[in-house]
C-alpha cells in the first residue's frame, strides 16, 4: 500500500485526519467514548482519566460497570433502542463512577450517536460532558426551592393562624389612610358597627367619632404621628347599629414608609361601653350623694342662712320706716334723704336676693360639671357661705391666697362644698376656744404644680382615735353630727384626683388640707 502513490496520499490524508481527529477529541474537555454493540469500549479519549480510568485499560471492557446501578436499567434500555436505529441520537443524564462501580458519582450528560453502520466509524459514539456542577446547583436549587416552599408554607400557615386570630378576637382592627379611608377591617370591627367589610372599606370612619374633641384628634392624627412618636391612645363615643351610643377605646399606630412618610394608621379598639356605663353610673351616684349631702348641709345651716337674709331685710324695713316717717314730716331735705334711703333699700334687696340666689345655686345642679375654674373664687364663695356662722360664733376668718395659682379642673360647686364642710367643722371645733382666739385660716398655695388648699382651726383638736376613722362614714367629732360630710368631701377630692388629709397643728387645733391637680391641656377626661 505504501508503494501506491495514490494510496500513499490516501494514507497520508488518513493519517492527517487521524491526527486532526485526535487533536480535536483528545484535547477536548469532553470525553469521547466509542462503544460497540455490546457496550464494550472501542476507544476512550484521555479525558476518562478524570474519573480514575485509564483509556487503554478500559478498552475492550464493558462500560456498564461504571454506571450507577440505579441508572443502569434505563441506560441499557435506551442503548438497546439506540443501536436498532442507525444514525439515531440519544441524550441521557447518567451518574458515572469508577470501574469498581463505586462513587464518587458524577453527573454526566451523554450524547449517544449510533454510527455503527458508518463504515469509517462502526461504533456508537458517546460524547460525555460532566454536569456535576450543574446537577449540584440544580440539586441545591431544588433544596432551596424546597426550603423556600416550606418557608412559604410556614408563612402561609402563620398568616392563616394570624388571620384567624384577627377574625376571632373581640378587639376591632381597622387600618386607614390619614384621610380616614378604611383599607382593612376585621370581623369584629364589622360586627360592632353592624356593616359588611365591603360597606366599610374605602369609606371614612370619621363620621363614627361622635365626640368633637376626639374627631378633631383623629382628623389631625396624620400630622401628629411621627416615626418617633407613632402611638396614640384615646376614647370616644360611636353610634351602635341598634341606635344606642357606645364607648370605644382606641390605640393607634402609624405605619410609615422607608422615607418616614405616614402611609396608614392601624387602630386597635375595644368596646368599653359597659365600663363607661358603670363608671358613669358610679359618677352619677357619687354626684347624687354629693348633692344630697349638700342639701343636708344647707339644712343644717338654715338658721344661719335665715339670719344672713334677715340682715339686709332688717335694714330694708328700717330704711323704709325712716323714709316714710321723714316724708310724713315733709320738711326741707326730707325728700332728698328719703331718696337716699330708698336707694339703700334697693341695694339691700339686691344683697338679700344675692344670698338667696347663691344658696339656691348651691342646692341645685346634681350632675357634676367638670370645667376649669379659679380656686380663689371657690374659696371666696365658700367663705361667704360660712361668714355668718363664723360671725355668730365670734370667729375671725383669715385667708392667705397665693395670687399666682394655676386654674384647676373639676366641679367648682363640689369643691366649694368640701370647703364649706371643712370651714363648718373648723367653726364647730372652736366651741371651747376663748372668744378672742377663735380663728380659721384658709390658705391656698401651689405645691409641686398641684393646688393645695388648707383650713386651719384653733379648736380642741382631734383625738388619735378619731383621726383614724375620720373619713369613714358616721365617724363624727360632734355629738350631734352624722359625720357624713368628711366622707363625701374625701370622695369628692378623690374624684378630682386629689387628696384630703387631716393633721393636728403643733400648738392647737387641726388643719385639713386637700390638693387638686392643675388643669393641663391634656385633661384626663376624654
Partner 1 sequence: MLSDPIVYIVDDDKVSREAVAALVAVMKAKTQLFDSAEEFLEKYDGHRPACLVTDLQMLGMSGLELQARMAADGITMSVVMITAYPKSASAVKAVKAGAVNYLEKPCRDEELWDAIRAGIAADKVRLKQEQELAEIRARMATLTPAERKVMDKIVKGLSNKAMAKRLNVSVRTIEVRRHQVFAKMEADSVAELVRMVLAVGEEGE
Which residues contribute to the site for partner 1 (CB under 8 A)?
Answer: 303, 306-307, 310-319, 321-322, 325-326, 329, 334, 337, 341, 344, 348, 391-392, 394, 396, 435
Nearer Cβ to partner 1 (124/385): 385
What pairs with residue 453 in β-bridges? Answer: 444, 514
274 touches 250 (CB < 8 A)? no
Nearer Cβ to partner 1 (210/322): 322
Residue 441 — left, alpha, or beta (φ > 0 → left; ψ -120 to 50 → alpha)? beta
Q: Taking the complex as a whole, how short is the minimal distance between the CB of residue 484 and partner 1, in angstroms?
A: 26
What pairs with residue 154 in β-bridges? Answer: none
Burial 475-488 (b: 16+ CB within 10 A, else e): bbbeeebebbbbbb
Angle at 471 between CA 465 and CA 475, to 5 degrees: 60
Q: Taking the complex as a whole, how short is the minimal distance between the CB of residue 395 and partner 1, in angstroms?
A: 9
Nearer Cβ to partner 1 (298/322): 322
Set of cell numbers at residue 383: 367663705
Nearer Cβ to partner 1 (341/515): 341
Closest by Cα among 256, 262, 238, 243 to 189: 238
502 touches 482 (CB < 8 A)? no
Nearer Cβ to partner 1 (337/376): 337
Q: How many helices (H) and strands (E) does the chain have?
A: 14, 17
Nearer Cβ to partner 1 (25/442): 442
Nearer Cβ to partner 1 (99/344): 344
Q: Taking the complex as a whole, how short is the minimal distance between the CB of residue 416 and partner 1, in angstroms?
A: 24
CA distance 258 to 262: 10
Residue 229 — left, alpha, or beta (φ > 0 → left; ψ -120 to 50 → alpha)? beta
Burial 236-245 (b: 16+ CB within 10 A, else e): bbbeeeeeee
190 touches 200 (CB < 8 A)? yes
* Alpha-helical segments (H) within 364-428: 375-392, 412-428
Nearer Cβ to partner 1 (31/395): 395
Nearer Cβ to partner 1 (92/315): 315
33 touches 129 (CB < 8 A)? no
Q: Taking the complex as a whole, how short is the minimal distance between the CB of residue 321 and partner 1, in angstroms?
A: 5
107 touches 135 (CB < 8 A)? yes
Q: Taking the complex as a whole, how short is the minimal distance between the CB of residue 393 and partner 1, in angstroms?
A: 9
Q: Taking the complex as a whole, how short is the minimal distance between the CB of residue 385 and partner 1, in angstroms?
A: 17
Amino acid at each position: 500500500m505504501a508503494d501506491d502513490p495514490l494510496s500513499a496520499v490516501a494514507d497520508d490524508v488518513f493519517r492527517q485526519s487521524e491526527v486532526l481527529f485526535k487533536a480535536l477529541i483528545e484535547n477536548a474537555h469532553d470525553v469521547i467514548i466509542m462503544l460497540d454493540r455490546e457496550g464494550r469500549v472501542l476507544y476512550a479519549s484521555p479525558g476518562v482519566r478524570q474519573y480514575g480510568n485509564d483509556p487503554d485499560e478500559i478498552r475492550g471492557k464493558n462500560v456498564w460497570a461504571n454506571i450507577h446501578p440505579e441508572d443502569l436499567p434505563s441506560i441499557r434500555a435506551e442503548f438497546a433502542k439506540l443501536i436498532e436505529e442507525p444514525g439515531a441520537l440519544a441524550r441521557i443524564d447518567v451518574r458515572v463512577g469508577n470501574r469498581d462501580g463505586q462513587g464518587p458519582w458524577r453527573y454526566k450528560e451523554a450524547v449517544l450517536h449510533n454510527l455503527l453502520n458508518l463504515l469509517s466509524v462502526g461504533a456508537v459514539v458517546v460524547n460525555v460532558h460532566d454536569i456535576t456542577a450543574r446537577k449540584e446547583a440544580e440539586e441545591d436549587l431544588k433544596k432551596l426551592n424546597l426550603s423556600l416552599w416550606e418557608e412559604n408554607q410556614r408563612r402561609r400557615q402563620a398568616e392563616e393562624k394570624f388571620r384567624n386570630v384577627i377574625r376571632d378576637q373581640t378587639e376591632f382592627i381597622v387600618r386607614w389612610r390619614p384621610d380616614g379611608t378604611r383599607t382593612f377591617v376585621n370581623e369584629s370591627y364589622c360586627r360592632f358597627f353592624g356593616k359588611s367589610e365591603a360597606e366599610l372599606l374605602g369609606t371614612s370612619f370619621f363620621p363614627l367619632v361622635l365626640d368633637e374633641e376626639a374627631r378633631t384628634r383623629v382628623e389631625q392624627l396624620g400630622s401628629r404621628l411621627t416615626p418617633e412618636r407613632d402611638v396614640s391612645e384615646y376614647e370616644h363615643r360611636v353610634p351602635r347599629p341598634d341606635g344606642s351610643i357606645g364607648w370605644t377605646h382606641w390605640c393607634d399606630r402609624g405605619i410609615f414608609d422607608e422615607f418616614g412618610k405616614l402611609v396608614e394608621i392601624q387602630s386597635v379598639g375595644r368596646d368599653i361601653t359597659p365600663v363607661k356605663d358603670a363608671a358613669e353610673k358610679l359618677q352619677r351616684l357619687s354626684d347624687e350623694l354629693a348633692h344630697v349631702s349638700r342639701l343636708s348641709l344647707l339644712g343644717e345651716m338654715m338658721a344661719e342662712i335665715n339670719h344672713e337674709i334677715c340682715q339686709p331685710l332688717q335694714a330694708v324695713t328700717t330704711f323704709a320706716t325712716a323714709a316714710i316717717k321723714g316724708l310724713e314730716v315733709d320738711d326741707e331735705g326730707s325728700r332728698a334723704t328719703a331718696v337716699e334711703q330708698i336707694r339703700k333699700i334697693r341695694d339691700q334687696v339686691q344683697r338679700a336676693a344675692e344670698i338667696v340666689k347663691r344658696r339656691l345655686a348651691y342646692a341645685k345642679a346634681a350632675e357634676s360639671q367638670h370645667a376649669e375654674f379659679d380656686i380663689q373664687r371657690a374659696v371666696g364663695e365658700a367663705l361667704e357661705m360660712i361668714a355668718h356662722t363664723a360671725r355668730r360664733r365670734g370667729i375671725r376668718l383669715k385667708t392667705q391666697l397665693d395670687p399666682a395659682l394655676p386654674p384647676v379642673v373639676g366641679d367648682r360647686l363640689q369643691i366649694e362644698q368640701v370647703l364649706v364642710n371643712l370651714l363648718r367643722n373648723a367653726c364647730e371645733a372652736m366651741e371651747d376656744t376663748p372668744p378672742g382666739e377663735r380663728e380659721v385660716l384658709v390658705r391656698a398655695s401651689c405645691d409641686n404644680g398641684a393646688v393645695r388648699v388648707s383650713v386651719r382651726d384653733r379648736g380642741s383638736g382631734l383625738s388619735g382615735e378619731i383621726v383614724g376613722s375620720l373619713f369613714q362614714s358616721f365617724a363624727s367629732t360632734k355629738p350631734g353630727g352624722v359625720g357624713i360630710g368628711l366622707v363625701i368631701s374625701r370622695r369628692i377630692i378623690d374624684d378630682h384626683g386629689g387628696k384630703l388629709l387631716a393633721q393636728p397643728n403643733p400648738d392647737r387645733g387641726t388643719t385639713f388640707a386637700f390638693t387638686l391637680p392643675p388643669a393641663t391641656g391634656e385633661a384626663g377626661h376624654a
